[in-house]
A and B are shown apart, each in its own frame.
Chain A
Amino acid sequence: MSGPVVTARGLTKRYGAATVVDGIDFDVAKGEIFGLLGPNGAGKTTTILMMLGLTEVSGGEIRVLDHDPVRDPLGVKRRVGYLPDQVGFYDNLTAYDNMSYTASLMGIPAGERRQRVLEALERVRLSDVVNKRVKTFSRGMRQRLGLAEIVMKRAAIAILDEPTSGLDPQAILEFLEMIHQLKHEGVTVLLSSHLLDQVQRMCDRVALFQRGRIVLMGTVAELARQVLGTGLVVDVEAGAATDLDARLGAIAGVTQVARIAADHYRLVTDRDVRPDIARAVVAANGALRRLSVDAPSLEAIYARFFQKQAETEEGARDAA
């Protein structure tokens, strides 16, 4: 299938007078990991629920895998797996029984059910606790059990809502590894999170939600260019060089040179000019000790974006 698997146009959700999701547009391409970012209450979960037909749409249009979740929620839910934040299970049932119940709700034929359940549990490394009650499971194990459901469903799209919140670092790593595996199998993943570091490592594209709108959307590099504006920051440490400031400043593409310490320069460049910098240092007889590029971090983008916004708002208030 070509074209986007999820399309939203002017998608809106209102609760009374409050508009929780305010006319958002986005497309998710097949096979990508799409991140939904933003503070709590920005409308991420509501958007997800509308995609699944679990809450009514107040306005606009959404299509998931060529189904309309408003009119044909079963068609959507048959092919989309959903892991809610803080997923719950029937504590007094075993992992197998819980899975077997959902398997039968999914309409998996009784003959295949056992095998599909066991396969899925093995994929998320829960094979040794198949017959343990979920009561005894840790938070990480529950999340993995939730993921096993999506695996068992053989979903085309996996929607994961805050899947790693409250997990310990080891569990997070394991979980992210499993998400990557899903992607390798061609599953499109929508990941909502406010853990920026994770999202950055995982996602092909992200959408930044704020007060019900998508304020930024694109790859992390694109966002960096939009928000930070400046491109790359390069740190250079070179000892015993002569006249390095001028030489660095003369390189095409370098827009700014700052001397932070005696032998430490920070350059701002509009593209990757590290080879030129290295050559310049060598030409200046410098001993090059470090030449590193700060990849634009989502955290910096995020912080900078909200800072900018606060400034403009303050400016507007002052003007008024």
Chain B
Amino acid sequence: MRREGSPWEGLGTVYVKELTDHISSIRMLVLEILIFLIAGAIVYFAIDSINQTTAEDPFVLLKLFTESRLAVFSLLAILSFMIPLMAIALGFDSVNSEHNRRTLSRILSQPIYRDALLAGKFLAALTTIAISLLLLWLLVVGLGIIRMGVPPNAEEVARSLAFMGVTLAYAGTWLALAILLSILTRSAATAVLVALGIWLFFTLIWPMLVPGIAATISPPDPRWALFGYQDPVTAQWAEWLRRISPNELFNGASIVLLAPDTRQVSQIVNLTQWQGAILGAPLPLTESLAIAWPQVVALFAGVIVLFVAGYVVFQRQEVRA
């Protein structure tokens, strides 16, 4: 049976309201201050380190994102760590708080479909993250120009913006997960705990588990170990398993975009990719994008799958508290 009327009716209204809520919320303010302080400090130290060591590099600006010699972590590592937190903070109570405040049935009795409410909330939170990322980008580029005195070239700008796009897709995955949890659980506290649990799992535990699981699925042939090598089959399994984690996908795609001489995401050497390569020579942006593409697509697929799961559950959910 087809329903009548547009699912987008009211989307703009919900979007504007949620965006206003996010931007004016204390929660968001705290997160932004945190990210900017950390990012500012890291970039500051990264610049020091670059000023001392780099002789000549055509992509000095991109180094700001990946440099980690003086600072403990690179900006990339910090983003891979902080972005999920930010997305979870914006999404974990998006639907269950409407239930708990008893506003849901009142809002849904207005002439809008549930589609508009859910999509509006998702897009508003994503926009909030996009605004923060844009500010962060400006901060990094600005600090780079002021402290290093090197204006960014077009390719650097393009690459760093592409990186911001990947970061947004990464944020979208976690946001869709947080919203899904906010639909599934009635209590916001449960949703945030589960979301943080999943985040911790992928950040800390999964990378430690992967070698063990891979070795169980495909026990390595001891002859490889004899020569100090990894069994390629086991290594391949480990790689597939690692890629379940959105963090891994994000890191893989980001490093390709930010370090132009990166020729492959995988840790397993693929000889055809190195054929005729000049070591250390940068790839053109389109080539880097082509290498990062599977990771980027996987992140987008994650966003879509998680959002659709939330959508289906939300459509069937009872509005009654």
Chain A nearest CB from B95 CB (Å) reads 14
Partner of B110, one of A55, A77, A88, A90: A77
In the complex, what residues of B have CB within 8 A of residue A295's CB? Answer: none
Partner of A101, one of B9, B17, B113, B321: B17
Interchain CB contact under 8 A, A72 and B106: no
In the complex, the chain B residue whose C-beta lies closest to that of A70 is B1
B149 at the interface (CB under 8 A from A): no
A111 at the interface (CB under 8 A from B): no
Q: Which of B4, B5, B10, B110 has the most CB of A within 10 A?
A: B110
Stretch of A27-35, A79-87, A170-178, A217-225 at the chain-chain interface? A79-87
In Å, the complex CA distance between A71 and B2 comes to 6
In the complex, what residues of A have CB within 8 A of residue B13's CB? Answer: 101, 104-105
In the complex, the chain B residue whose C-beta lies closest to that of A142 is B102
B56 at the interface (CB under 8 A from A): no
Interchain CB contact under 8 A, A72 and B3: yes
Task: Tally B residues with Cβ within 8 Å of A.
Answer: 26
In the complex, what residues of A have CB within 8 A of residue B109's CB? Answer: 52, 54, 77, 80-82, 84
B107 at the interface (CB under 8 A from A): yes
In the complex, the chain A residue whose C-beta lies closest to that of B117 is A105
In Å, the complex CA distance between A146 and B109 comes to 12
Chain B nearest CB from A89 CB (Å) reads 6
Interchain CB contact under 8 A, B106 and A82: yes
Interchain CB contact under 8 A, B4 and A54: no
In the complex, what residues of A have CB within 8 A of residue B4's CB? Answer: 71-72, 74-75
Q: Which of B3, B101, B106 has the most CB of A within 10 A?
A: B106
Chain A nearest CB from B189 CB (Å) reads 18
In the complex, what residues of B have CB within 8 A of residue A45's CB? Answer: 320
In the complex, what residues of B have CB within 8 A of residue A105's CB? Answer: 10, 13-14, 107, 110-112
Interchain CB contact under 8 A, A75 and B108: no
Interchain CB contact under 8 A, A88 and B112: no
Known contacts A54-B109, A102-B107: does B5 contact A75 (CB below 8 Å)?
yes
Interchain CB contact under 8 A, A107 and B3: no
Interchain CB contact under 8 A, A78 and B17: no
- 3 interchain residue pairs of minimum CB distance: A88-B102, A74-B5, A82-B109
- With A75-B5, A105-B13, A106-B110 already in contact, 14 other A-B pairs whose C-beta atoms are closer than 8 Å: A45-B320, A70-B3, A71-B4, A72-B4, A74-B9, A84-B105, A88-B102, A89-B101, A91-B101, A102-B107, A105-B14, A105-B112, A107-B9, A149-B106
Question: Could you show 18 A-B contacts with beta carbons less than 8 Å apart?
Answer: A52-B109, A71-B2, A71-B3, A71-B4, A75-B4, A77-B109, A82-B106, A84-B102, A84-B106, A86-B321, A88-B101, A88-B106, A89-B106, A105-B13, A105-B111, A105-B112, A106-B110, A107-B10
What residues make up the interface of B, taking CB atoms closer than 8 Å to A?
1-5, 9-10, 13-14, 17, 101-103, 105-113, 318-321
